[in-house]
Amino acid sequence: MAGRANIPTNNSALIAIIADEDTVTGFLLAGVGNVDLRKKTNYLIVDNKTTVKQIEDAFKEFTAREDIAIVLISQYVANMIRFLVDGYNKPVPAILEIPSKDHPYDPAHDSVLSRVKYLFSAESVASDRR
């Protein structure tokens, strides 16, 4: 099918995560972690020493990797690089904003939710014109 994104089918699609230490640790304990032969990981632990540039670089790296199908990012971290998250429009890897222990989820800042709301409002306007 034309225009459809290719997801690796040899069971090698990974989940990447950019979040605080507790969140990343939970996902690592669940088996999400991966370190390849070049010592590249599929996660970034964000703490008070992590720079915005490091977060931007990790986001760009994870979204460019062909072996990653989903990027989970804590919403408060996504707010630090909101211009990158909102500007990302590819279907794979999918970007999902998640809450963290210290920062509650705010649906007003979720880029996926805002896109869905936009699509449904545009759809309802189009159906009203019929």
Q: Tell me the CATH number at 48.
A: 3.40.50.10580
Residue 91 lies in a domain: yes
Put the strands of the sheet holding 94-98 in their side by side order: 43-45, 14-19, 68-74, 94-98
Residue 53 lies in a domain: yes
With the C-alpha atoms ordered 77, 23, 39, 66, is the resulting torsion angle positive or negative?
negative
Residue 5 lies in a domain: no
Measure CA 72 to chain center. Answer: 4
Using the structure block, give the residue that is written with the tokens 């306007």: 125
Q: What pTM, to 2 d.p., does this model score?
A: 0.77
Structural domains in the chain (count): 1
Cβ pair 73, 96 in contact under 8 A: yes
| Full residue range of the structural domain in which residue 20 is found | 14-127
Residue 96 lies in a domain: yes
- The pLDDT tens digits along the chain (130 residues) read 455 555 545 567 899 999 999 999 999 999 998 888 888 899 999 999 999 999 999 999 999 999 999 999 999 999 999 999 988 989 899 999 998 888 777 777 777 777 677 677 755 545 555 5
